[in-house]
Amino acid sequence: MSAPDGLRPARILLTLSALEFFGPAVRDLGDSHALNVAWVPHARLHMVWFIGFLVLSGLVNLHLIWGRRSGVAGLRISAAWQACALGGFWIALATQGLYGGSLIEPGHHVEILGVEENLLGFCILSALWLAGVVMLRRRAPAAAA
């Protein structure tokens, strides 16, 4: 674990937001996505490939956040990497009408407090990420790069 450097709050927040990388392995390897017989086999291959990429990305992010040589640069790379993954979700959501996508799969997704679980989850993850970035900027100004 890294030395006490005042970055622990940013590390914790970025760790929580890095959960985005592991959610699809839990939720999408079943019959709603990767094992969905209605999907063409090539689409299922892409789904499993994507899930593998996300899990490996999550592990690398955790190393960047908590690794023995982790520091400001590692946290910045992790934050940027997470921004790409979160941004990809928000782009997919914003453009779903262009490609016939849907936020929900009936029978597989639920509402929590009246909000669809994916939307609520990504709002929370995005807020945690933003808080982590703000904390990182406060604890490690640009001059400390």
pLDDT in tens, 93-127: 999 999 999 998 877 778 888 888 999 999 999 99
User: Looking at the domain assignment, is residue 1 inside a domain?
Assistant: no
User: Looking at the domain assignment, is residue 106 inside a domain?
Assistant: yes
pLDDT of 144:
52
User: Looking at the domain assignment, is residue 88 inside a domain?
Assistant: yes
Our count of domains for the chain comes to: 1
Per-residue pLDDT of the chain (145 residues; tens, 9 = 90+): 445 578 999 999 999 999 999 999 998 999 989 999 999 999 999 999 999 999 999 999 999 999 988 899 999 999 999 999 999 999 999 999 999 999 988 777 788 888 889 999 999 999 999 999 999 999 876 545 4
Q: Cα–Cα distance between 12 and 34 in angstroms, integer?
A: 31
User: Looking at the domain assignment, is residue 2 inside a domain?
Assistant: no
User: Looking at the domain assignment, is residue 3 inside a domain?
Assistant: no
Q: Range of 16's domain? A: 8-144
User: Looking at the domain assignment, is residue 72 inside a domain?
Assistant: yes
Q: Cα–Cα distance between 87 and 56 in angstroms, integer?
A: 18
User: Looking at the domain assignment, is residue 40 inside a domain?
Assistant: yes
Give Cα separations from 124 to 4, 31, 41 (angstroms).
Answer: 27, 26, 33
pTM of the model: 0.87
